[in-house]
Structure 1
Amino acid sequence: MRGTETHHSHTRDTPRRITWHTDSMPSDPHPTASSPTSPGPDTSLQPQPPTPQQRRRWRRYLADEQAEGAVYRELAQRKDGEERAILLGLADAEKRHEQHWRNLLGDHAGKPRRGSWRSRLLGQLARRFGGVFVLALAQQAEARSTYDRDDDAPAHMAADERIHGEVVRALATRGRQRLSGTFRAAVFGANDGLVSNLALILGVGASGVSHSYILLAGLSGLLAGALSMGAGEFVSVRSQRELLDAENPSPHAHRAIGDLDVNANELALVYRARGMNETDAHAHAELVLSNYSETTRLAEDIDADKHETLGTAWGAAGSSFAFFASGAIIPLVPYLFGIDGYAAMAVAVSLTGLALCATGAAVGVLSGASPLRRAARQLAIGLGAALATYALGLIFGVTVG
């Protein structure tokens, strides 16, 4: 992972440029005794010393490598097993890159420097939070490496950074999969609450009604939307669990395996119906018959894992209710504090815009995309819907009036 400053050049053959001076070569390759004093061995072949700009850049690279290695070690402390080993392997790789810049700097390394603000931010986040958000940020930082455009960084180091990015991407993907259900409900619920209630408040406010009517409409919209979201999520999760139950093997069928005639049964047809070819189905059926109790236990474990991943219907309903309400309350804040008129609308739009940017940026970080672009997209969509409703409120207000 590297800072964003770029050093362009057309060649990358060596980590340091070397200029050879040949102006002192003798014109006569075979001087005679009468020739002037023969020159001794040519000692002018010296590498060009690094410029101050190069040294500054190398020190910055060194500081970044040190900071990024510390990030991986911090994350490793929060993990165990394979993920811990992978993160420690990345930290060792950053240490290898550190040594490259130390070798180039030699006695000019100086005192340890602070890394770039991005590296320092990653370190703070890793110490306080860890988790998928930091991995997603680390993935973006690895992708910003400028080693492939810098003569002083060997090609293998630039390639290392690309591979590191893929390693971090894979680790972040694990976290995204574990977080996807809850995060999806949080983002969608909060966004629905933000946009729908802001649109409702602006539409009602544009019609010219009093402050109390706007507040009542906003609170009604909050409760109606949150209850609707909770009920919808309850039905959705309950239906998914019922579908999973329908797909899983019947426990009665598993208990019947022990009573089957080993020489004449249709157990292989079960596995053929599930997609196995005839040979594999017969082999699997023989294995099941030889140890059916273990098969039953394994099937129950798989069933439990699926249900654990899906979660409970009541838990999903409660989360959706809370997420929607947390978003819908934000446009109501100025009205709850007694602000009225266009000032209240302006404050509501500003607060909602900030919240939309925050949720959009969070989605961008988790998806490995640009947080700024995702925030701008979220803001444009949300405010666009709210402004359209405001325009309709103006039209209806004039018509009714």
Structure 2
Amino acid sequence: MPNRSPAPQPRPERIPHREDPTPADIRRWRRYLADEQAEAETYRALAKKRKGEEREVLLALAEAERRHEQHWLDKLGPEHAAKRVSPSFGTRLFGVFARHFGSVFALAMMQNAEARSPYSTDPDATDQMEADEAVHTEVVRSLAQRSRARMSGSFRAAVFGANDGLVSNLALVLGVGATGVGGGVVLATGIAGLLAGALSMAAGEYVSVSSQQELLDASTPNPETARKLPALDVNANELALVYRARGMNADEAASRAAEAMALQTGLTTDPVSAVDTTESLEELGTPMGAAISSFLCFAIGALFPVLPWLFGMVGLPAVVTAAVVVGAALLFTGGVVGVLSGSTPWKRALRQLVIGYGAAGITYALGLAFGGVVAG
């Protein structure tokens, strides 16, 4: 029998203003009011750090939250609205990030929060408020993506570098340590792994980013071509071939070429013929920046697993300490990635932990087996 998707649940009927709200209603409305006020303040704080279109968008979001705030004020009435409560912990945390840290963290967290709005199931919210929150999710998602693009090149290298350093060097020192060699050998192995891995990661990132930039440069139209458009033969317009090469059919290409000729716009100003690589280059970052970030973060990450041996610990206590220290670091890096990606942080954190411990566990088991064979 084929699987059947569950029938959609009916939306709760909206209930008009009640003259006798229950104490639970009052508490819930007060919390909504506090959250809306705090979110509006967060958007205004973010707007202070932006200019131009992004600033206007953030201020418009703050104004929308103010409308929602007024809804709950009307629901509560003057008597009940006079008593204020603290916003939820998550909402307060958004404000802290907005005021003291980069806006990309605050926007990523706001994106996740807007997507989990309770208004879709709360009968005391309006359909317009529910729709507003759905649209806010997409607006914040777009703003967060723009912020991620500005930092994603070096940040990507930094996160991957730190994670690789943590996992690879933990696996290395545990695998070597499990064979029964002395603590000095384990420490030397860990330091060698740190340097080798950091240099390898830096070189790889430099080559990778450089190659991608070269590919983007090769895809950018030659600006000199725009100056030659007026000399084209309008009866044998080869500009149409440019548009056809970019995916248009013959009629569409001819129409667009005619428009370009009439307006005498160049390849670099026409929205179809030009290839805008500015945002792509921002996302990539610079080769040297990616290499340096990767080197430093891999080295820092790879240092954690060797700390117990660096401080003179040996044997099983050193192994357990290294696993605990690296596990905490993996949870942190996974949580940061989760926040920035707009997903649930703890899921990403646990995923990082499981992958890291899995790799280290395999090499530790192999080290034990190899040590047993050598001893035998």
Normalising by structure 1, we get a TM-score of: 0.80
State how 1:239-388 maps to structure 2 within 5 Å.
239-249=211-221, 254=225, 257=228, 262=233, 268-278=240-250, 280=253, 284=257, 287=260, 295=267, 307=281, 309-388=283-362
Answering whether residue 99 of structure 2 is matched by residue 127 of structure 1, we say yes
**Does the 8 Å contact 1:78/1:130 carry over to 2?**
no
Structure 1 pair 367–278 and aligned structure 2 pair: CA distance change class (3 A)? same
**Does the 8 Å contact 1:131/1:175 carry over to 2?**
yes
5+ residue gaps in structure 1? 1-8, 18-46
Answering whether residue 33 of structure 2 is matched by residue 67 of structure 1, we say no
- Distance in 2 of aligned mates of 1:325 and 1:79: 34
Match of 2:206 among 234, 237, 240: 234
Deviates more, 1:66-75 or 1:264-273: 264-273
**Does the 8 Å contact 1:147/1:157 carry over to 2?**
yes
Partner of 1:77: 48
Shift of 1:376: 0.8
Structure 1 pair 204–300 and aligned structure 2 pair: CA distance change class (3 A)? same
Answering whether residue 70 of structure 2 is matched by residue 99 of structure 1, we say yes
Partner of 1:13: 14
Match of 1:397 among 348, 371, 375: 371
**Does the 8 Å contact 1:12/1:152 carry over to 2?**
no
Shift of 1:126: 0.8
State how 1:32-181 maps to structure 2 within 5 Å.
47=19, 49-106=20-77, 107-181=79-153
The amino acid of 1:237's aligned partner reads: V
Structure 1 pair 158–185 and aligned structure 2 pair: CA distance change class (3 A)? same
Shift of 1:338: 1.8
- Distance in 1 of aligned mates of 2:191 and 2:34: 52
The amino acid of 2:29's aligned partner reads: W
Shift of 1:61: 1.6
The amino acid of 1:115's aligned partner reads: P
- Distance in 1 of aligned mates of 2:51 and 2:156: 26
- Distance in 2 of aligned mates of 1:16 and 1:285: 60
Q: What are the Cα deviations for residues 225-273 of structure 1, in whole angstroms up to 9, with x where unaligned? A: 111111112222222233234334457x749948967477855545544
**Does the 8 Å contact 2:46/2:58 carry over to 1?**
yes
5+ residue gaps in structure 2? 1-9
Q: What RMSD in Å do the two structures reach over aligned CA positions? A: 3.1
Number of aligned positions between the proteins: 361
Instruction: State the secondary structure of the residue aligned to 1:389.
Output: helix
Shift of 1:317: 1.9
Deviates more, 1:378-387 or 1:228-237: 228-237
Instruction: State the secondary structure of the residue aligned to 1:329.
Output: helix
The amino acid of 2:212's aligned partner reads: Q
Shift of 1:398: 1.0
Name the % identity: 56
Which protein is bigger by CA-based radius of gyration? 1
- Distance in 2 of aligned mates of 1:148 and 1:304: 39
Partner of 2:6: none
Structure 1 pair 309–110 and aligned structure 2 pair: CA distance change class (3 A)? closer
The amino acid of 2:187's aligned partner reads: L
Shift of 1:190: 1.1
The amino acid of 1:57's aligned partner reads: R
Shift of 1:326: 1.6
Shift of 1:312: 3.2
Structure 1 pair 269–167 and aligned structure 2 pair: CA distance change class (3 A)? closer
- Distance in 2 of aligned mates of 1:255 and 1:52: 70
Deviates more, 1:177-186 or 1:373-382: 177-186
Shift of 1:396: 0.6
- Distance in 1 of aligned mates of 2:93 and 2:155: 23
Structure 1 pair 258–221 and aligned structure 2 pair: CA distance change class (3 A)? same
Partner of 1:37: none
Structure 1 pair 307–181 and aligned structure 2 pair: CA distance change class (3 A)? closer
The amino acid of 1:96's aligned partner reads: R
State how 1:200-215 maps to structure 2 within 5 Å.
200-215=172-187
Instruction: State the secondary structure of the residue aligned to 2:164.
Output: helix
Structure 1 pair 130–234 and aligned structure 2 pair: CA distance change class (3 A)? closer
- Distance in 2 of aligned mates of 1:104 and 1:256: 64
Normalising by structure 2, we get a TM-score of: 0.85
Q: What are the Cα deviations for residues 204-241 of structure 1, in whole angstroms up to 9, with x where unaligned? A: 11011111100100000011111111111222222223
- Distance in 1 of aligned mates of 2:127 and 2:255: 53
**Does the 8 Å contact 1:12/1:150 carry over to 2?**
no
Partner of 1:191: 163
**Does the 8 Å contact 1:288/1:295 carry over to 2?**
no
